[in-house]
């Protein structure tokens, strides 16, 4: 094992002499046929003298890289292009002027003879890149040679976005590593093939497709970018055929609107799962190991985080990984491509259909466990009683409307005099109806707002579901019922009350018969324990939801 020298060049504003010495030392290693880990704006590279086949061969050995996978030739500017390619289309200069130095790699025709076979794996084309990192540009200029520089990871592992990642994979196998700080882009360069017309995107990367198309018009997107290739099918970029970026545990990517994909992941995870999710959903996965991918709306951060997130699970004992995934716009195409490749294109599309269930039923029947089962399925439960009380305290319009009919029920300090309101409506059916009409008029739009318009599963929990008109917001209403004797015993135990009082509480409410006949479906709870019922309810709701979705997708 050799000793890998670490050069700290994170701060290039300090001691100029010291900085120049480190740059010269790295350049010297490269000139002499050694390997150096170098920073770029995308990911760290593993550099060798690109004109020296013996040095380049060592890259393949250090990475464990298949020999048929060509390398990118890294140069400090477009002026170097004619040294390595014979026939450079004007478009290459148009692109270089606009995007170099930067995360764009161009495939050009007709490499010159100085470029060794081993770089291009025998192809007649060559990949050229000019990275946007001052340290690496200085090293290459100082060395005076182009460098072959694939990503610095061991083949198959996630790419390296810090010098520490490089050491993790390459310590003892290479002469040096130059630390230029964490990579600002975080995913590799965009590879554009200019040997065909229209140009073809071979690998999405740090430069968004949209930015390229804005400058040069339509671009073809290679099939390997978005999907798995069929057995034996050859991608244009040989590297795209390998399972890449893969952590040790198998990865499943879940696409779709963030709320929907988060819910789907919730349905799948167990205690040994790892989760890569947008920052907003971290709290959903308290039992799992989580790597946040950044805010769902910030693809710059997602690109910076994606490899680190994948890599981080290798030092944990998770048995499987679920990952949320951004849409394909902008940098999202590169982020989702890296995640999907890490997953071997094992992708679940989060259902984009929305289901609203109304859950009702009398005391002791098991409504709470049923609602927990809905949460277990990733659903959002809206508790109407809580919303109602909050509105009583805060919704001035509703308070005014109540006060107009029941003057004086609000005290001078604004609080509700419950006793007074109770007396007003107790045993006077028309007065109670009046109050309810006011309440429902304000409550329904608020509940409608809370169940939103987004995809996913929602449950409305309301004792007055049917009388209030809230059932109109639901795809199905479900009555939770239970045998009378079981209900009595449950309430006695739960609330520590006498049998007589328990029976009185039940008979003061609407009967199971009422709920059973008015609701669309019934979930009867004869289970021995709340846990057992919760599990039964989960299976029941899962089937119900599937059938609703089935209906909707064919309607």
Residue number of the CB closest to ligand TXA reads 239
Q: Are strands 251-255 and 320-324 parallel, antiparallel or unpaired?
A: parallel
- Using CB under 6 A as the binding rule, whether residue 189 contacts ligand TXA is answered as yes
Spatial separation of the C-alpha atoms in residues 396 and 216, rounded to whole Å: 57
Nearer to ligand TXA, 34 or 158 (CB): 158
The radius of gyration of the chain from alpha carbons, rounded to an integer in Å, stands at: 32
Nearer to ligand TXA, 70 or 256 (CB): 70
Spatial separation of the C-alpha atoms in residues 134 and 142, rounded to whole Å: 12
> Which among ligand TXA, Mg ion, none contacts residue 331 (Cβ within 5 to 8 A by kind)?
none
Which residues in the 82-101 window bind Mg ion by CB under 5 A?
Answer: none
Nearer to ligand TXA, 105 or 302 (CB): 105
- Using CB under 6 A as the binding rule, whether residue 183 contacts ligand TXA is answered as no
Name residue, tokens 């109770």: 422
Q: Using CB under 6 A, pick the residue from 9, 23, 39, 40 that binds ligand TXA.
A: 40
Asked whether the bond before 467 is cis by omega within 30 degrees of 0, the reply is no
Q: Using CB under 6 A, pick the residue from 9, 127, 443, 473 that binds ligand TXA.
A: 127
Spatial separation of the C-alpha atoms in residues 477 and 472, rounded to whole Å: 9
* Burial profile 192-221: b = 16 or more Cβ within 10 angstroms, e = fewer: bbbbeeebbbbbbbbbbbeebeeebeebee
Closest CA to 337 of 459, 238, 232, 206: 206
Single out the segment in contact with ligand TXA by CB under 6 A; choices: 120-128, 325-333, 462-470, 502-510.
Answer: 120-128
- Using CB under 5 A as the binding rule, whether residue 40 contacts Mg ion is answered as no
Torsional sign, CA 234, 112, 62, 105: negative
Which residues in the 227-246 window bind ligand TXA by CB under 6 A?
Answer: 236-240
Name residue, tokens 């490749």: 341
Q: Which residues contact 296 (CB under 8 A, 6 or more apart)?
A: 258, 278, 279, 280, 324, 326
Nearer to ligand TXA, 334 or 480 (CB): 334
Written as six digits, the tokens of 184 are 């600002």
Which x/- pattern, by CB under 5 A, does the window 143-182 give for Mg ion? --------x-------------------------------
CB of 316 to ligand TXA, least distance (A): 25
- How many other C-beta atoms can be found within 10 angstroms of the C-beta atom of residue 140? 27
Nearer to Mg ion, 241 or 518 (CB): 241
- Using CB under 6 A as the binding rule, whether residue 42 contacts ligand TXA is answered as yes
Single out the segment in contact with ligand TXA by CB under 6 A; choices: 69-77, 247-255, 405-413, 451-459.
Answer: 69-77
Interface residues with Mg ion (CB under 5 A)? 151
Interface residues with ligand TXA (CB under 6 A)? 40, 42-43, 45, 69-72, 105, 107, 120, 123, 125-127, 129, 131, 149-151, 188-189, 191, 202, 236-240
């Amino acid at each position: 094992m050799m000793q890998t020298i670490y050069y700290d060049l994170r701060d290039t504003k300090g001691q100029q002499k010291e900085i120049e010495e480190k740059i010269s030392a790295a350049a010297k290693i490269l000139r002499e046929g050694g390997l150096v880990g170098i920073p770029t704006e995308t990911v760290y590279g593993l550099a060798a003298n690109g004109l020296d086949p013996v040095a380049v061969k060592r890259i393949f050995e250090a990475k464990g890289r298949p020999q048929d996978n060509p390398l990118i030739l890294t140069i400090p500017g477009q002026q170097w292009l004619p040294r390595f390619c014979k026939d450079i289309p004007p478009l290459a200069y148009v692109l270089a002027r606009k995007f170099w130095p930067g995360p764009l790699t161009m495939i050009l025709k007709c490499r010159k003879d100085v470029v060794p076979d081993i770089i291009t794996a025998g192809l007649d084309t060559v990949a050229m890149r000019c990275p946007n990192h001052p340290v690496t540009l200085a090293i290459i200029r100082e060395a005076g040679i182009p460098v072959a520089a694939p990503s610095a990871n061991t083949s198959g592992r996630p790419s390296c976005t810090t010098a520490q990642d490089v050491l993790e994979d390459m310590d003892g196998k290479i002469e040096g590593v130059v630390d230029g700080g964490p990579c600002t882009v975080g995913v590799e360069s965009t590879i554009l093939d200019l040997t065909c017309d229209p140009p073809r995107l071979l690998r999405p990367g740090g430069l968004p497709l949209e930015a390229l198309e804005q400058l040069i018009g339509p671009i073809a997107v290679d099939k390997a970018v978005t999907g798995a290739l069929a057995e034996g099918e050859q991608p244009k970029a040989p590297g795209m055929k390998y399972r890449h970026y893969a952590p040790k545990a198998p990865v499943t990517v879940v696409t779709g609107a963030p709320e929907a994909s988060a819910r789907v992941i919730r349905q799948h995870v167990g205690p040994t799962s790892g989760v890569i999710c947008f920052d907003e959903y971290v709290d959903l996965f308290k039992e799992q190991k989580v790597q946040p991918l950044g805010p769902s709306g910030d693809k710059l951060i997602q690109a910076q985080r994606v490899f680190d997130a994948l890599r981080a699970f290798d030092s944990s004992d998770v048995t499987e990984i679920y990952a949320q995934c951004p849409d394909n716009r902008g940098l999202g195409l590169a982020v989702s491509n890296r995640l999907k490749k890490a997953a071997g294109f094992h992708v679940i599309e989060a259902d984009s259909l929305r289901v609203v269930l109304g859950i009702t039923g009398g005391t002791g029947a098991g409504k709470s466990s049923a609602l927990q089962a809905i949460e277990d399925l990733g659903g959002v439960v809206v508790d109407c009683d809580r919303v109602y009380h909050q509105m009583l305290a805060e919704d001035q319009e509703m308070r005014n409307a109540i006060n107009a009919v029941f003057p004086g029920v609000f005290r001078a300090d604004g609080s509700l005099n419950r006793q007074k309101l109770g007396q007003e409506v107790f045993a006077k059916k028309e007065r109670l109806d009046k109050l309810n009409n006011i309440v429902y008029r304000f409550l329904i739009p608020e509940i409608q707002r809370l169940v939103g318009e987004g995809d996913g599963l929602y449950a409305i929990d309301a004792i007055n579901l049917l009388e209030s008109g809230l059932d109109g917001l639901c795809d199905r209403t479900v009555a939770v019922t239970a045998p009378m004797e079981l209900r009595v015993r449950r309430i006695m135990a739960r609330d520590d009350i006498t049998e007589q009082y328990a029976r009185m509480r039940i008979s003061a409410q609407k009967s199971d018969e009422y709920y059973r006949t008015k609701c669309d479906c019934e979930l009867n709870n004869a289970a021995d324990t709340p846990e057992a019922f919760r599990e039964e309810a989960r299976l029941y709701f899962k089937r119900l939801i599937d059938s609703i979705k089935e209906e909707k997708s064919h309607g």
